[in-house]
């Protein structure tokens, strides 16, 4: 099965950090107050995507 991972649209991310508090694995962090960054720990649960007020996170399958 393809691995799923959150992908951040950096142009729309407002770096509010809602995603970081939604993530149970601390797999998403705000990079230097500019945009959110996803680490390899991400399992693609989409909690961050559903909470993101800017709708800047998508969950994509990577093969």
Partner 1 sequence: MKKHFYDYLWIASALYLILGFFNILFAWLGLLCFMIPLLISIFGKSKAYCNRYCGRGQLFSLLGQTLHLSRNKPMPRFLKSRIFRYGFLAFFMTMFGLMIAQTVGVFLNADSLKTAVTLLWTFRVPWTFAYTETALPAWISQFAFGFYSIMLTSTILGIVLMVLYKPRAWCVCCPMGTMTQLVCKGHAHGKTEQN
Site for partner 1 in 14-43 (CB under 8 A): 14-18, 20, 24, 30-34, 37
C-alpha distances (whole Å) from 30 to each of 20, 26, 56 are 7, 11, 13
Distance of closest approach, residue 1 Cβ to partner 1, in angstroms: 25
**Count, residues near partner 1 per rule CB under 8 A:** 21
DSSP, res 1:
-
Which residues contribute to the site for partner 1 (CB under 8 A)? 11-12, 14-18, 20, 24, 30-34, 37, 50-55
């Amino acid at each position: 099965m393809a691995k799923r991972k959150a992908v951040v649209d950096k142009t729309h991310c407002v770096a509010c950090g809602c995603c970081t508090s939604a993530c149970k694995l601390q797999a998403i962090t705000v990079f230097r107050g500019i945009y959110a960054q996803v680490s390899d720990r991400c399992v693609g649960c989409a909690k961050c995507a559903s909470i993101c007020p800017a709708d800047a996170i998508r969950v994509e399958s990577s093969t």
